[in-house]
Amino acid sequence: MQICASRPEPAPMAAVRPFILRYVQKKARLPGEIDLARFDYIDAGYVDSMGIIKFVMEIETEFGISIAEEELGSNAFRTIGGIIALIEGKMK
């Protein structure tokens, strides 16, 4: 059986924003006229309660970071701007 290891090299910081925008648009495209930084993608169902764990796991694997329990419940995690800043902050 093939064992998936973590990525040998985490993706660079410039990849965070495109990665998040691509992931949250798997179900449907984001509307054009929104304030991306403040957009609550969870409230709008772009990532639902069934998909949240895989979302976090893929972020951790892609960028070689760890997201803590309390961060998952934070308001920052719920917005597109917030989660990008959260990931970038951990990569510095």
Q: Which stretch binds another protein (CB under 8 A): 8-16, 53-61, 82-90?
A: 53-61
Q: Which of 43, 70, 75, 92 binds another protein (CB under 8 A)?
A: 43
Is 14 one of the binding residues for another protein (CB under 8 A)? no
The nearer residue to another protein, 6 or 76, going by C-beta atoms, is 6
Q: Is 53:61 a contact under the CB 8 Å cutoff?
A: no
The nearer residue to another protein, 47 or 84, going by C-beta atoms, is 47
Q: Which of 20, 39, 46, 83 binds another protein (CB under 8 A)?
A: 46
d(CA 6, CA 40): 29
Torsion, Cα of 24, 26, 27, 33 (10° steps): 50
User: Residue 40: how many CB atoms within 10 A of its CB?
Assistant: 13
